[in-house]
């Protein structure tokens, strides 16, 4: 959203000023769960430090390919991390050639919604939502690009947008980046506003590790990791594989699970990105034991 993006730029500038000051003048902001990042690291026998250099070659555009990037890079007002485009392209191609419906949370200066509106198949509908009323200028009804003004933290507003334009094939959250907003938007939109088989992408999840964006101790990354456990809810209280094996006397015909557990087909993590896919149809998994 525009005002959050502008706030982000101010925070980045402030961080640069702080970095130039003498050590000790400002407290170091760190992930609110001290030591948590070392829990996995300590499992490795040799936890060596690896330096990460700047982009090589010096022109970072040389490493970014695809129709989306080519259009976006010529669109005024764009702001993206360049490594996002690899996943964008994968999503873009997975949507196919039929018209789709897309919702983007956060319009900012219009670069992203215009990119998707231009590149998605003809007849597609792109809807952007933002708090900033000036974002309405990017609406182009003739091209099926719509902008609605409201907060991603307002469930009634989200419901009204979904009723007007949904359900959506693809939802992209590039909004406030506040942890509660990320979680609440997902819980309201993923179950009801996303089509079966649809994809829901949350980007800039690195902000979960910056205190300025954490309005709760429980981050969206924490929430996403918990949803991995939720995907495996059918296995709880079932002691072994025989409960899912073909033709076995133990095989279950039905298992009661939370609704969200039956919706989650896939959760993919990348640097600063979490992509969820919704099941088209969900059935109990089947184990098969082949005879020797």
> Residue 176 in contact with residue 204, Cβ under 8 Å?
no
pLDDT of 17 > 80? The answer is no
> Which one of 83, 118, 146, 177 is the catalytic residue?
177
pLDDT at 114: 95
Burial call 139-168: b when 16+ CB within 10 Å, e when fewer: beeeebbbbbeebbbbeebbeebbeebbbb
pLDDT at 36: 66
pLDDT at 251: 94
pLDDT of 100 > 50? The answer is yes
248 is annotated as an active-site residue? no
pLDDT of 14 > 50? The answer is no
- For the entire predicted model, the pTM comes to 0.86
Confidence band, pLDDT 50/70/90 cuts, at residue 76: confident
Confidence band, pLDDT 50/70/90 cuts, at residue 15: very low
If you average pLDDT over residues 121-128, what whole number do you get? Answer: 98
pLDDT of 18 > 70? The answer is no
C-alpha to C-alpha distance for 292 and 290, rounded to whole angstroms: 6
C-alpha to C-alpha distance for 94 and 170, rounded to whole angstroms: 11
Percent of the chain residues topping a pLDDT of 70 = 84
* Domain annotation for the chain: domains and CATH numbers: 55-278 (3.40.50.150)
Confidence band, pLDDT 50/70/90 cuts, at residue 34: low
Query: Which residues are CB-neighbours of 252 under 8 A, at least 6 positions away?
Result: 238, 243, 244, 284
If you average pLDDT over residues 210-234, what whole number do you get? Answer: 93
Residue 289 three-state SS: coil
224 versus 291: the higher-pLDDT residue is: 224
Query: Which residues are CB-neighbours of 264 under 8 A, at least 6 positions away?
Result: 227, 230, 231, 276, 278, 279
């Amino acid at each position: 959203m525009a005002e959050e993006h502008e706030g982000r730029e101010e925070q980045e500038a402030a961080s640069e000023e702080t970095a130039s000051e003498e050590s000790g003048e400002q407290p170091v902001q760190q992930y609110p769960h001290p030591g948590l990042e070392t829990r996995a690291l300590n499992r490795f026998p040799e936890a060596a430090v690896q330096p990460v250099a700047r982009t090589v070659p010096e022109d970072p555009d040389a490493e970014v390919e695809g129709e989306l990037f080519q259009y976006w890079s010529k669109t005024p007002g764009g702001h993206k991390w360049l490594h996002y485009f690899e996943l964008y392209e994968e999503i873009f191609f997975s949507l196919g050639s039929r018209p789709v419906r897309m919702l983007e949370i956060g319009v900012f200066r219009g670069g992203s919604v215009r990119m998707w509106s231009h590149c998605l198949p003809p007849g597609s509908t792109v809807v952007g939502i933002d708090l900033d009323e000036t974002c309405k200028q990017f609406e182009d009804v003739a091209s099926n690009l719509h902008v609605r003004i409201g907060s991603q933290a307002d469930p009634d507003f989200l419901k009204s947008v979904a009723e007007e334009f949904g359900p959506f094939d693809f939802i992209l959250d590039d909004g406030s980046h506040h942890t509660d907003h990320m979680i609440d938007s997902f819980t309201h939109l993923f179950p009801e506003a996303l089509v079966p088989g649809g994809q829901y992408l949350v980007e800039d999840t690195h902000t979960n590790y910056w205190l300025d964006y954490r309005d709760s101790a429980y981050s969206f990354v924490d929430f996403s990791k918990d949803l991995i456990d939720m995907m495996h809810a059918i296995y709880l209280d079932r002691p072994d594989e025989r409960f899912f094996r073909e033709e076995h006397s133990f095989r279950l015909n039905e298992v009661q699970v939370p609704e969200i557990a039956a919706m989650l087909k896939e959760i993919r993590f990348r640097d600063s990105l979490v992509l969820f896919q919704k099941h088209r149809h969900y059935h109990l998994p089947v184990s098969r034991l082949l005879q020797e």
